[in-house]
Amino acid sequence: MFRERRTTLGLTMRDVAGSSLSPTAVNNIEKGKINPTIETVLYLCQVLNLQPEKVLLFHPDYTKTAALLFTRIDDLVDRGEIDEAITLLYDMYWVASDLPDYELPTAEIQYKISQVFAKNGRLDSAMTAMTHAYKLFILTKNYERQVDAVCSLAALAKVKQQLQRAIGTYTTTLELAYRHKLFDRVGRILLEMAYLFMECVEQQETISHCAQAEREFRRIRDADGLAEAQLLRAQALCELGRLQEALEAIEAAYHHFIATGDLPRQAEAARLLGEIHSGLHAYESAAEHYCQALCLAGSAAPDTLHQVLGGLASLALLQQKTEVARNHAQRALSRLQKPKDRSKLYRILAGCDLQAGDIEEYKANMYRAVDALLEAGDPCSAALIQCELADQTDDFELLRDGARKLRRVITSSKRL
């Protein structure tokens, strides 16, 4: 390869050698008498204008070139050259397949293939590749990588909105971690399960898994993981109306985020503190924390600003500032897409309508809140809002319908 390229470019061995090599060394490399180092290969590729990956693929010591090739793949993905990255990965796979101990190198390549497919939105292909990687990790008895692979399969199921499948997969991962004594992984797995339960509107399971995760994080002295679990547990407690417990859970986490300079989580914790204090009728503290969250919202997730506006709307409604509440809620509603967030805003707008005496618009916004909760997969809260609407409007038929729906939800959950 080197000789053909040199002659094509019309270069002599001395031209190629430069000040880095001797002409004799170049001659021996071209004739295959010596194996060049990785540094020499990269130098020759630069001089001869060759793509390094095409040469590194066939270097005798694959274990030395693999890391460089993976770095090259990351560069291709960052530039959006996904097809080129996948082609290179499959070239690596066929080369690695001929190695005597092929299982671990090919497993790592399949793992990387899965990650590239996932970044490109090809989730089914990503799951297939990750399953192959997991099977190969089993053959090598590499327990840590087995856990990594199964965690990745669970994360892919979550992206596909297959939440129950993701929970089941994380349960398998948890069993693997305990079986092989990978205790430092347990807290993170429990926390990922807690996030899934929160998405499934199962706050009690969220609280339980967060509490278990907190114990594990304390045991391994992972302060970041502990604070993250406390934040999520506080969110679940707040949704259940257990505000004093939520306050106790969030305060330590909030101070940790301040101490570590974690601005996105600090913003989320400040917003949640505003919501908790608002529910406890500590309006000055609520306003103070909402303002802090508003200042930090620029460095947080895109939805955080509008969630803070929703919190300010709720606070204004409690203080009978109807038009202020309405303006904040409408601004937030124009951007927030998650059904659960939208249901809260519709309820705030309904409260504004009730204060203004507009019963028809109150009903319309309450029904919008019900529809949003049903879309979010929370029929219990939807039925409770329906009952609240029936109580406000003295609609006994609507009240009976809401009660029937509640009974169905309760019966269904008992069966589960």
How many angstroms separate the CA atoms of 251 and 273, rounded? 8
Amino acid at 135: K
Predicted confidence (pLDDT) per residue in 326-366, tens digit: 999 998 888 888 888 899 999 999 999 999 999 999 999 99
Specify the pTM: 0.79
User: Which of these, 335, 405, 393, 397, lies nearest to 360 by C-alpha position?
Assistant: 393
Residues 54, 98: Cα–Cα separation, whole Å: 17
What share of the chain has pLDDT > 90, as a percent? 58
What's the CA gap between 36 and 33, in Å, rounded?
Answer: 10
Does residue 150 contact residue 130 with C-beta atoms inside 8 Å? no
Task: State the maximum Cα–Cα separation within the chain, in Å, rounded to a whole number.
Answer: 98
Cβ-in-10-Å burial (0-12, 13-18, 19+) of 83 comes to exposed
Report pLDDT digits (tens) over 282-299.
999 999 999 999 888 877
Contacts for 114 with CB less than 8 Å, ≥ 6 apart? 125, 126, 127, 128, 129, 130, 133, 152, 156
Burial (CB count within 10 angstroms: exposed 0-12, middle 13-18, buried 19+), residue 282: middle
pLDDT at 409: 64
5-19, 152-166, 184-198: range with lowest mean pLDDT: 5-19
- Decide which of 262 and 396 is more confident: 262
Find all residues with CB under 8 Å of 129, minimum gap 6, and list them.
110, 111, 113, 114, 117
Number of Cβ within a 10 Å radius of residue 335: 13
Mean pLDDT for the stretch of residues 399-410? 74
User: Mean pLDDT across the stretch 204-227?
Assistant: 97
Minimal CA–CA distance to 246: which of 214, 275, 266, 221?
A: 275
pLDDT higher than 70, residue 91: yes
Residues 164-190: what's their mean pLDDT? 95
Distance between CA atoms of residues 257 and 263, nearest Å: 7
